[in-house]
Structure 1
Amino acid sequence: MAMLATFWIVLLVALNAPAGNGQSVQTDPSKSGFVGDTVELRCVFINGKPPVKISQVTWQKLINGTKQNVATANPDLGVSVLPPFKDRVSFKHPAVRQRTSTQSAPSTLEDTTIVFSNLRLSDEAAYICEYTTFPAGNRENMVNLTVFARPVTQMTLTSATIVARTPKRKIPVATCMSANGKPPSIIKWDTTLKGEATFQETRNPNGTVTVRSNYIVLPSRETHRQKLTCIVTYHTDRFIDSVILNVQYEPEVKIEGFDGNWYLNRQDVKLTCNADANPAVTIYQWKLLNGSLPNNIEIKNNTLFFKGPVTYEFGGTYVCDATNSIGTRSGLVEVNVTEKPMPQGPPGGIFGMLGVVVVAGLIVGVVATICMVYRRRQKPRTETDNDLIAVADSCLTKPEAPGIEAPEKPESPTRTDLPPAHKPAPPPPKKKSSDMKSGLTSDEIQVVHLDREYEIQKIPLQPPYYDMAQSESTAFTDKPVSSAAKLIAVCPFSFFGGFIEKRCLGSGCYGAHLLMHVVQDELPSERCLD
């Protein structure tokens, strides 16, 4: 009974103790490092007031919900590290590493940060730092440790010798591999070579990933000596490596030397068998289709020398067989022998230049013709035209007679109303004397507004026209028109050859014709006819 009572007393004291009372355990939320590196896992106890007593600190590894002890620190028993971590885990501060505490040097357990050295992939887990205190009880916090693994990257040719065979087929020519990386790497190819890449990821038992990429091309003469670059990206690291493809292929044969102008008695002619091959050609063989080679021929390496002057015997189809370790390919040329040399025309470049000059001349001629036609249609004004416009302006600006309203503007006369350009226009029709003496009313006056700019551009002026004939009913007079202040100019003018007609209105000017004689380089002079 006494023991049971003691137990309940202790329990009540523990329950009544202020929970937390300011005590807490501080850790980093997460830490990370690479395989082989060293990393610190921080753990600090924040004591309260009144402070509690720390009985023990324990670091534990949490694996699939199960806790595994890593290290402990006890003020009385000292420090203990379990075997799996003994050589790689230690407490950071020397005060914690003291085996026992004394009155002169008490053990300090407020900071129990541990140091992981030589990290392994198996160290990746969640770690718990737990403080046992009295009377506050246990306080703990957790930190997640992530372990990365740098990959091993390399680039190799799939084969030291790549052969372009017939029939052609695509094959992998280079491999780029990033092995045992965590997380996996990213592989890219950089090349001007036309091809395609394949990618494959393999997850290893230890949690790493191996990435493998092959570059596939169609081997040919064009792919020989092409550069292929592999770019591997892992975190902030970048790996770049390149290889030069070595592609072996059959010879590509071409015979040179025949210029199409082999004529009788020509000297020093030859045929050369040029072959592009990898590896190099080892054997050249010459032959003549449907016959045998001429007697006066000398073969040196890949060249066929013809001794002496050219004869008809040199004509025929020559074949060159080039052989390397991959295969044999042939080239041929047909030689024709003529009696006389072929005429040598000007080089093609000269013909091209002549063609350009001819085309340019045609273009210039067409443009010039268009400009001339346009200029003829758009004839510029002359000084006489400008003088006529000035007279017309003065007529249009004169005041109208009192009580007379200007009629509406009629349509402008067209070019069909004008007289032929080869002779001057006839004089205006003559009026009877009875009409001259009768008074004019406002209804009889017609005001015609003419678009003078349009007429001046469209109607060329004729030489000055002087009508010296006297009217049958009226006599010519130089007397000024009476009541000039009341004179009204009726516009626009009627253009007839070289004079302008306008009608006068006012006392002493009824029925009179006012002729404006246009003289070259002079302003028009006004004369009234009674």
Structure 2
Amino acid sequence: MTSWLTLSLRLLLSWMYVTRGEFVERPRDDSLRSVAEEETVLPCRFQPTDSVVVQVTWFKQTSDGWEQIITAHRVDGQTAFGTWSGRVRFKSSNPTVDSSLVVLSTEVSDEGRYKCHVNSYPFGTFDQEVTLTVWTIPISSLDAVTVVEGQSYRQAASCRSLARPPPLLSWDTELSGQSVNRSWENGAVTAHYSLHPLRSMNGKKLDCLVWHPTLTGPRRHQNQLVVHFPPDSEVSGYSGDWYVGLERAALSCVSGGNPRPQLFTWARLGEALPEGAIPHPNGTLEFGRPLSLSDGGTYRCVAKNDVGVGAAELQISVTEFPERQTTTTEKTLMVVVGVVAGGLLILMLIIIITVTCHQKKKNKMLTRELTEKKEEISTLSRQASFRRMNSVSTDARGATEESIPLRVDGTLSSLGQGTRLPPHVPTPSPILQSGELLGQTDEGASRSASATVSPRHSSRRSYPPVTHDDDGDEEDDDDDDEVDEGLGGRASREHPDDRESQSSRSQASEAHSAGYRVTNGTVRFKPGTNPTVVSPHASLVHKAQIV
């Protein structure tokens, strides 16, 4: 029964609290973070229901209890207490509506738990607590240590940082070394970097990086390692071209020590410096007069810094006459000539390649055209051969003496003295002048063989009368009708060889008509004629075929 009564009272109080007012804009987990030396706002806003806020008071928890910070009365106004006076204020001009507390400049000591106490009428008081955590921006520094070449393993740089919460420290470097970090309860952290110092490490990067939540990125402290080492001297200014009478001759002592040498000493081994040789503080030995043969020798330069000394020697020779050397102008001219020659060579190569390609292309075109011409000529030649075979006529009435085939049967008798020749034996004089008909097809040969020779065809060949055309040239009347199908027409008849052949055939025909006769298809000598009147080289029958 008692438990049920207690539960009922709690539910009633909860209902009264909800219905009579509540805090809004509460921080998450009742925890806030702030940064030292910045303004901090502690939220507190109470919305009453059927009640009125009369007074608001802020407290901070201490080891002795709750310390009153500031209060605001609806009628009496605001009041800050003790050390908080001047450091805190309410955010709103009407604290009973918005009771948020503003800490103007937050300190590390401000970290702790705070309570916002609200008095309402007629329902009493309401409280809201919040915990404040104060962070500090890191305060860091880097201390560089100067090391000397040859020293033992030692510290080269030290980095320190202080912040809440404690920061993290790291090194950004390419040096071979080791870092040792330490931290303390107050938020201080240190990092020491140690190494074996070498001359090659001088000027190398050795940066310290500070990492902290208050920073958007690492804070970098730039640093370069400083390594001191003795000078490393070298004598320059002489290239083996000193001669008697040379003016403004000088030697320089170059040194790379760290720190830079401040003291230079010149000497000549075995003897004193020549008269007129002036040493300068910057390490230069200048000859204030023209050189002489006595200025030769071994010169020594000594450079000194805080760490040690460095020395260098150089043998100087002075000749009586200057050696001819290639001047800058001559060198430039040689370079220009070389460049021009190279350019011309490249241009020639380009021209040769271009011409070669063009010639190859032209040869290909000529070869292609020649092949086409050969094919065209071959085609025309075959067509002409076909036309010659087809032009042989089987009608003996319209054929000339040249086109009538000669048929010889049996034997030739009564050749002058009645000598009988065996059949198919050629006469002593050549009968065939041309082999054109011998190349004809078998069909043409059979047609020629079937034709018989008549006396009227063995008589002298009658030519058509010569007439003059309109332009004054002599021309055959049958030129327009008669076409040599095998030889291309008029052009073949006008060829000098053709005219000579026609003349020979005409003479042979006359001789044949005078000394021979044909009886029953047999060629016989006429009585009383000499068969040798015909030249053995003359053609008796043109285009004849013996069958």
Counterpart CA distance in 2 for 1:89 and 1:318 is 81
Q: Does structure 1 residue 378 correspond to structure 2 residue 361?
A: yes
Q: Does structure 1 residue 69 correspond to structure 2 residue 50?
A: no
Counterpart CA distance in 1 for 2:247 and 2:41 is 88
Residue equivalent to 1:303: 285
Q: Does structure 1 residue 255 correspond to structure 2 residue 253?
A: no
**Of the candidates 424, 435, 438, which is equivalent to residue 441 of structure 2?**
435
Describe the superposition over 1:110-133 as per-residue Cα deviations: whole angstroms up to 9, x where unpaired.
654334354332433454546688
Structure 1 SS opposite 2:302: strand
Bigger Rg, structure 1 or 2: 2
Deviation at 1:286, TM superposition (A): 0.9
Counterpart residue identity of residue 306, structure 2: S
Deviation at 1:205, TM superposition (A): 2.7
Counterpart CA distance in 2 for 1:479 and 1:215 is 123
Q: Does structure 1 residue 42 correspond to structure 2 residue 47?
A: no
Describe the superposition over 1:172-197 as per-residue Cα deviations: whole angstroms up to 9, x where unpaired.
666554433546377786xxx97579
**Of the candidates 322, 335, 351, which is equivalent to residue 303 of structure 2?**
322
Structure 1 SS opposite 2:231: strand
Counterpart CA distance in 1 for 2:442 and 2:202 is 109
Contact 2:112–2:132 at 8 Å: present in 1 too?
yes
Counterpart residue identity of residue 331, structure 1: A
Evaluate the alpha carbon distance shift between residue 80 and residue 339 of structure 1 in structure 2; reply closer, same or farther with a 3 A threshold. closer
Deviation at 1:13, TM superposition (A): 6.6
Q: Does structure 1 residue 184 correspond to structure 2 residue 167?
A: yes
Structure 1 SS opposite 2:362: coil
**Of the candidates 327, 336, 344, which is equivalent to residue 325 of structure 2?**
344
Residue equivalent to 2:316: 335
Deviation at 1:147, TM superposition (A): 1.6
Counterpart CA distance in 1 for 2:273 and 2:101 is 96
1:31-180 matches, cutoff 5 A: 31-48=32-49, 51=50, 69-71=66-68, 111-129=98-116, 140-156=127-143, 158-159=144-145, 162=146, 164-165=148-149, 167=150, 177-180=160-163
1:456-475 matches, cutoff 5 A: none
Contact 1:269–1:306 at 8 Å: present in 2 too?
yes
Structure 1: stretches of 5+ with no match in the other structure: 97-108, 401-428, 440-476, 483-507, 518-529
Residue equivalent to 1:281: 262
Residue equivalent to 2:19: 21
Matched pairs, number: 386
Counterpart residue identity of residue 119, structure 1: T
Counterpart CA distance in 2 for 1:378 and 1:21 is 106
Contact 1:285–1:322 at 8 Å: present in 2 too?
no
Deviation at 1:315, TM superposition (A): 4.1
With the length of structure 1 as denominator, give the TM-score of the two structures: 0.52
The structure with the largest strand share of the pair is 1
Structure 2 SS opposite 1:46: strand
Counterpart CA distance in 1 for 2:128 and 2:377 is 110
Describe the superposition over 1:324-350 as per-residue Cα deviations: whole angstroms up to 9, x where unpaired.
333221122222344543232354444
Evaluate the alpha carbon distance shift between residue 431 and residue 292 of structure 1 in structure 2; reply closer, same or farther with a 3 A threshold. farther
Evaluate the alpha carbon distance shift between residue 141 and residue 262 of structure 1 in structure 2; reply closer, same or farther with a 3 A threshold. same
Deviation at 1:213, TM superposition (A): 7.4
Contact 1:260–1:336 at 8 Å: present in 2 too?
yes
Counterpart CA distance in 2 for 1:334 and 1:132 is 103
Structure 1 SS opposite 2:339: helix
Contact 2:90–2:100 at 8 Å: present in 1 too?
yes
Describe the superposition over 1:351-401 as per-residue Cα deviations: whole angstroms up to 9, x where unpaired.
4444333433433333333333333322168899879969989999xxx9x
Structure 2 SS opposite 1:258: coil
Q: Kindly, what percent of the aligned residue pairs are identical?
A: 20
Structure 2 SS opposite 1:149: strand
Contact 1:70–1:82 at 8 Å: present in 2 too?
no
Residue equivalent to 1:460: none
Structure 2: stretches of 5+ with no match in the other structure: 384-434, 446-477, 492-542
Evaluate the alpha carbon distance shift between residue 346 and residue 15 of structure 1 in structure 2; reply closer, same or farther with a 3 A threshold. closer
Contact 2:160–2:188 at 8 Å: present in 1 too?
no
Counterpart CA distance in 2 for 1:431 and 1:346 is 93
Deviation at 1:284, TM superposition (A): 0.4
Contact 2:167–2:210 at 8 Å: present in 1 too?
no
Residue equivalent to 2:271: 292
Counterpart residue identity of residue 300, structure 1: P
With the length of structure 2 as denominator, give the TM-score of the two structures: 0.51
